[in-house]
Amino acid sequence: MLVADDHPLFRQALTLAARKVRPDADILEAGTLNAALDAVKSAQNLKLILLDLKMPGAEGFSGVALIHAEAPEVPVLVVSAAEAEQAAQQARRFGAVGFIGKDQPLPFMQSAINDALEGRRIETAPDDHEVDAVAAKVADLTPTQLRVLLGVLAGRLNKQIAFDLNISEATVKAHMTAIMRKLDVQNRTQAVLAAKALGIGGSI
């Protein structure tokens, strides 16, 4: 299991809850989104990811989307101090199986971890099918496409995004074409608005 949270004390609490559920599990820890992504890429036989929404390197629900894109087969259980109902629904749209509020007691955390490990999805709010449809398209982007879109959301130029990702500017343009096709939008601005409406990234 991977426990990703930038607060050491809460990371310890999540690790304790995880060990109560699976005493023999190997538990990895990460304090930033980049460290979590590195752990996901290198870990063998990962069964569950406990992911804090607000970690260094993550904006909005970008962390959930990126982690899910890197390991779509691994359940992600989101941890946050955000308002539970809204945050849980948004996180689920990007691939999370459930949500743990940081104010929840240890037994609740253990129960949620066990449910996630057993493959049970934790429903917390009614569906909004229109938003779900757009979110599904964003969740279908590859990790690199998500990073390109996040660069656009941050207001970076194609050449800056190319430098950030160590790819050519032509490759960035190709990714933007693929992103617009997947999101079913006609231009860069519409792609930005579609993602911003879902809480991905910051201002442009």
Which CATH number goes with the domain that contains 66? 3.40.50.2300
* Per-residue confidence (pLDDT) for residue 203, from 0 to 100: 39
**Sheet with 2-4, edge to edge strand ranges:** 28-30, 2-4, 49-52, 76-80, 96-101
CA dihedral 40, 43, 48, 54 (to 10 degrees): -30
Which residue, 103, 126, 149, sits at the end of a domain?
126
Residue showing tokens 């982690």 = 67
This prediction has a pTM of: 0.66
* 98 part of a folded domain: yes
* Per-residue confidence (pLDDT) for residue 119, from 0 to 100: 84
* 202 part of a folded domain: no
Contact yes or no for 169/160 (Cβ under 8 A): no
pLDDT in tens, the chain (204 residues): 999 999 998 899 899 999 999 999 999 999 999 999 999 999 888 999 999 988 888 877 888 889 998 999 999 999 887 666 667 777 887 888 888 888 888 888 888 899 999 887 665 544 556 666 777 788 889 999 999 998 988 888 999 999 999 999 999 999 999 999 988 888 887 787 777 766 775 433
User: Do 167 and 89 fall into the same domain?
Assistant: no
Range of the domain at 104: 2-126
Which residue, 126, 141, 168, sits at the end of a domain?
126
Query: Largest alpha-carbon pair distance within the chain?
Result: 51
Residue showing tokens 């949620």 = 112
* 45 part of a folded domain: yes
User: Do 31 and 122 fall into the same domain?
Assistant: yes
* 10 part of a folded domain: yes
User: Do 84 and 101 fall into the same domain?
Assistant: yes
User: Do 65 and 161 fall into the same domain?
Assistant: no
User: Do 53 and 79 fall into the same domain?
Assistant: yes
Q: What is the number of structural domains in the chain?
A: 2
* 78 part of a folded domain: yes
Burial 68-92 (b: 16+ CB within 10 A, else e): bbbbeebbbbbbbebebeebbbbbb
User: Do 105 and 170 fall into the same domain?
Assistant: no
User: Do 25 and 118 fall into the same domain?
Assistant: yes
* 47 part of a folded domain: yes
User: Do 121 and 32 fall into the same domain?
Assistant: yes
Which residue, 126, 149, 167, sits at the end of a domain?
126
